Structure formats: C-alpha cells, structure tokens
Amino acid sequence: MTEDNNLEKAHANLVEQRRSIIEALAKGYQSGQTENHIELLLKIQNGIDVLDTLMAEAEEEEDDD
C-alpha cells in the first residue's frame, strides 16, 4: 500500500468522524458533552488540515518527477 493511499484512507476516516461529531452536536445527543465534542471536532479538523497539506505536497512531488 502506498503512502498516498494511507493518507487518503486516514483523511476519509477523519472526515467520517467529523461528520459523526457534527451530527451528534446537531441532534443534541449526550447532553453535557458539547464542550468535549467541540474540542474533538477541532482536533479532527486540524488532522484533516494536516493530511490535506501532506497530500498536496505529495502531489506536487509527483508532478515534479
């Protein structure tokens, strides 16, 4: 498995986790956990941003080759 595939799978996983957290926040599940959900959402989004950067850099390296 290539590094690109690993990055894409990790990205997809984080996007799914983000979607789940947003749905939980929207539905008001687990009352009292809103602050924890927001903190988790921010961490997930930061991870997505890092993966986006890594994938863009990998793509640029491929284009240079």
Question: What is the per-residue pLDDT across 1-58, written as a single tens digit (0 to 9) for each?
Answer: 477 789 999 999 999 999 999 998 888 766 678 888 899 999 999 999 999 999 999 8
**Would you state the pLDDT for residue 28?**
77
The CA angle 15-37-4, to the nearest 5 degrees, is 20
Nearest of 49, 43, 62 to residue 11 by alpha carbon: 49
Q: Is the pLDDT of residue 64 over 80?
A: no
**Would you state the pLDDT for residue 63?**
79
